[in-house]
Structure 1
Amino acid sequence: MTPIASRSHLVLIPSFNPGEKVYETVQAARARWAPVWVVVDGSTDGTAAGLTRLAESDPDLRVLVLPENRGKGAAILAGLVEASAAGFTHVLTMDSDGQHPADRIPSFMAASQAEPEAMILGKPVFDADAPRLRVNGRKVSNGWANLETLWMGIGDSLFGFRVYPIAPLRRIMERTRWMRRFDFDPEAVVRLCWAGVRPVNLPTPVRYFTVEEGGVSHFNYLRDNLLLTGMHTRLFLGFLWRLPQLIVRKFV
């Protein structure tokens, strides 16, 4: 398999203590796309060194290592700044733990290239092994995200397999201190919708790995749900402020 090369679109993988799955994830992404960048977000599991060794023999793999854990959004922002400086216009973000399907990278990139002003959002298709608590719980966030955007069409607010146009996302993130941790994915799509970036949804299979299969999860039910609750409270206030503008955009 020959990876597709691009000077405008790159794969960006934020990574924090993912375990051995990260190597499989990165190699699967590289089999389909060039370049692939990994932002190591202060990992302490030895994967920074392992990824750096991989990059030494692969000119289309770049590893950025942050000295301390700052959160998923902060890692993506660091990647956006570097990607913009290198002349890239779009990034496909995917998790480093193997849950996201690398074989869908070409179709997502093609959709972005066809509509470069849009954001291409994965809409997860769960298998029978997906935790019911996670599957059902995300419906709450999805409902709030769609209300906050006056139903612009966000298929899933939490799924991180996406293609973003760099310029508007970077501009939004650099204007706020939020969107740095687990709140990044839902807040990014809401704020991009507010900025007029249209969502395009593509059904995407997702797999949850058991611990025996090498699965690693950093999701903390209480902490992260409190974070999401605070985020949606903040976004709802922003929605009320923007409501006249959103109504005009949608109906006029």
Structure 2
Amino acid sequence: MHNCFVIPIYNHHDTIATTVEALLPYQLPIIIADDGSDSQTKQALQQLGSRYTLVDIVTLARNGGKGAAVSAALRRAAARSFSHALQIDADAQHDVNDIPAFWQLAAQHPDDLISGAPLYDEYMPRSRRIGRHITHFWVNIETLSRDIRDSMLGYRVYPVAASIRLIDQVQLGQRMDFDIEIMVRLYWQGIKVRFIPTRVIYPQGGRSHFSLLQDNWLISKMHTKLFFGMLWRMPLLLKRKWTHG
């Protein structure tokens, strides 16, 4: 395995240094995709890039959404011949203590997608909790299984080649719908998804770029598209379910 980290970022100038410095002990390249951030964030990224040789900045000309940033980072990872990329958010919500477990499971199952199964604290907004339950319901239908325990957490190890093939084949959602759609479609392609329980922190006063109206609308449209995509894949999905019990 030839590993790296990927971090999508949009206006998280106050937390990105903490996130990067927590990853440095692993001595792996850190690819940060700047999704058209403000000047404060660009300055913070410039300082990190100057200070640490492991940091590789990919700059998007304008804000395209989380999916656009992750896709850009994965393309850079592929161009640099990395086989696996661990995606982690820039806002310090993810528990970096679990990183060794992610890499260990990825090494054991290099063809699979390794994802966090989130354990949330009491500060998780109620609206986000309800939205996750609705998405879990639809993902179970779209995959005709309960194999995907969570599809919304952006803390995961991607097999880079398979992920780039999918990104090149299908126009995936570019905002918060990306994490869900790429996982479902990789599952459709026969890639197993494995989960690691991991703590997720919602810091008081933290900044979220999830738009209650826009992102929920995009996620609803995505589920409609995936539902109809499931219908013609139903025989294959049922065969897989029967074969693997």
**TM-score computed with the length of structure 1 as normaliser:** 0.92
Task: Tell me which of 2, 11, 32 is aligned to 1:8.
Answer: 2
Query: Deviation at 1:144?
Result: 0.8
Task: Tell me which of 172, 176, 179 is aligned to 1:178.
Answer: 172
Specify the alignment match of 2:104 in structure 1: 110
After TM superposition, where is structure 1 displaced by more than 6 Å over at least 4 residues in a row?
none
Specify the alignment match of 1:218 in structure 2: 209
Alignment partner of 2:173: what SS? coil
* Equivalences for residues 90-101 of structure 1 within 5 A: 90-101=84-95
Aligned residues: 243
* Equivalences for residues 17-166 of structure 1 within 5 A: 17-151=11-145, 153-166=147-160
Specify the alignment match of 2:197 in structure 1: 203
Superposed CA RMSD: 1.4
Question: Which 5+ residue runs of structure 2 have no aligned equivalent?
Answer: none
Alignment partner of 2:202: what SS? coil
C-alpha distance after superposition, 1:126-180 (max 9, x if no partner): 1122222212320110111121111151110101100110111111111222322
Taking the aligned partners of 2:170 and 2:83, their CA distance within structure 1 comes to 21
Query: Deviation at 1:31?
Result: 3.2
Contact 1:42 1:67 in 2 (8 A): yes
Specify the alignment match of 1:232 in structure 2: 223
Contact 2:105 2:114 in 1 (8 A): yes
Taking the aligned partners of 1:171 and 1:181, their CA distance within structure 2 comes to 19
Taking the aligned partners of 1:185 and 1:229, their CA distance within structure 2 comes to 14
Contact 1:35 1:61 in 2 (8 A): yes
Amino acid of the structure 2 residue aligned with 1:84: A
Task: Tell me which of 184, 199, 209 is aligned to 1:190.
Answer: 184
Query: Deviation at 1:117?
Result: 0.7
C-alpha distance after superposition, 1:55-91 (max 9, x if no partner): 2221111111111111111111111111111110111
Amino acid of the structure 2 residue aligned with 1:130: M
Taking the aligned partners of 1:187 and 1:66, their CA distance within structure 2 comes to 22
**TM-score computed with the length of structure 2 as normaliser:** 0.95
Taking the aligned partners of 1:178 and 1:36, their CA distance within structure 2 comes to 24
Alignment partner of 1:31: what SS? helix
Alignment partner of 1:240: what SS? helix
Contact 2:175 2:215 in 1 (8 A): no
